Amino acid sequence: MRRLRAALALFAVLVVGTVSCGDKEPAGPTAGTLYLALESPNGEVGAIRMRISGAGIANIEAAQPFQVYYRETGGDRLEVVVVGDVLGGDLLSLEVPDVDAPYPVSLIEVASRENTLRQALGAYTLRLHP
């Protein structure tokens, strides 16, 4: 009889624990700020043109004393140009509706301070981070 009571008590604890854990709603998206960083193999850059994709991107601002220009290019895509003495590090900040969602970034063009387009873009890295 003791074993039956112990088994029933254990079963009751497991059922109550399962039911109470199941009542919690899953957390929704977390809005916040992401920063876009550049790693440059050639030192100083004069201008960078890139594309950022994702819904709800807002409040794009320079993270350093750069000029930042952007426009919507259709759908959920933005074309962004950063101009200035770009050495690398954080270029800009942007507000997003979900900091855990993917926001693909692609590099389109890089120009030197002398306004010469760089031919090889493969060594440049753009990275979004919190």
Q: How high does pLDDT run on average in the chain? A: 86
Q: Is residue 8 part of a domain?
A: no
Q: Is residue 95 part of a domain?
A: yes
- Name the β-bridge partners of 80: 50, 70
Both tokens of 95, joined, read 């507000």
> Where residue 95 sits, what CATH number does that domain have?
2.60.40
Q: Is residue 23 part of a domain?
A: no
Which structural domain range is residue 120 located in?
32-129
Q: Is residue 11 part of a domain?
A: no
Cα-to-chain-centroid distance, residue 15 = 40
Give the number of residues written for the chain.
130
Q: Is residue 80 part of a domain?
A: yes
Q: Is residue 111 part of a domain?
A: yes
Q: Rounded to the nearest 5°, which phi and psi values hold at 87?
A: -105, -15
Q: Is residue 103 part of a domain?
A: yes
- Name the β-bridge partners of 61: 93
Query: How many C-beta neighbours within 10 Å does residue 125 have?
Result: 13
Q: Can you tell me whether residue 13 is helix, strand or coil?
A: helix
* DSSP one-letter code for 35: E
The total domain count for the chain is: 1
- Name the β-bridge partners of 45: 86
pLDDT tens digits along 69-114? 999 998 899 999 999 999 889 999 999 999 999 999 999 999 999 9
Tell if the pTM clears 0.85, that is, is over it: no
pLDDT tens digits along 46-58? 999 999 999 999 9
Q: Is residue 44 part of a domain?
A: yes
What is the DSSP secondary-structure string of 50-92?
EEEE-TT-EEEEESSS-EEEEEEEETTEEEEEEEEEE-SEEEE
